[in-house]
Amino acid sequence: MVEIKFCGMTRAEDARQAAAAGARYVGVVFAGGPRRQDVSSASGIFAGLPAEIERVGVFGREPPEAVAAMARSVGLAVVQLHGDPTAEEVEALRDSWGGAVWAALRVSGTELPARSRELFGVADAVVVDAKVDGALGGTGVALAWEPLAAPLAALRSTGLAKLVLAGGLGPENVARAVTTLHPDVVDVSSGIESRVGRKDPARMRAFRDAVRSVEGAR
């Protein structure tokens, strides 16, 4: 089953709606951007979520010790490094953090970056997202899925990392994305919003239904 991550939460009520809509992962952003949260606000957003929902924090280029301290304070299950991390930076975080580490692989065009193979070898999951200058994520820009399908399939055969697909997903296109790339997790933020930072419950449910429709057709 393809798992769903609803990210970029700014309100506790949106996080609860995400859980009700079937998300396995609910995320907040500690890196820059309009959805940025701090430890206090993130703790409030996550409060009241069912225990089975995995809390994810998205970080930029913060030092590993600071990331680990924030993750423990908020009770995260997953730390997502979205600042173009190297394999060495993933391993450095593991010295301070005992939870799962996801590493973003931001792609421009139709070729994977040179560090792709190393990330798939060390991270618990690799988040493939569109690279947009001046932004770490949540831009609504989609990847060129078809040209990336074969290279990603080859990489996945070399490591145990999950493939998390992000970048421009929404209820209208996620079924095609799942059919093309067969990710383990689909990750969406702006594609389920009524405006920046405000999630739309109807779009969350529609996104879930689109993902499940593909699974039902298999």
Positions annotated as catalytic residues are 7, 129
d(CA 127, CA 138): 13
Which stretch of DSSP H or E encloses residue 217? Answer: helix 201-217
Amino acid identity at 51: A
Which positions ≥6 away from 217 have C-beta within 8 Å? none
Tracing tokens 């618990």 back to the chain, one arrives at 124
Which amino acid does the sequence have at 145? W
H or E stretch including 90? Answer: helix 87-94
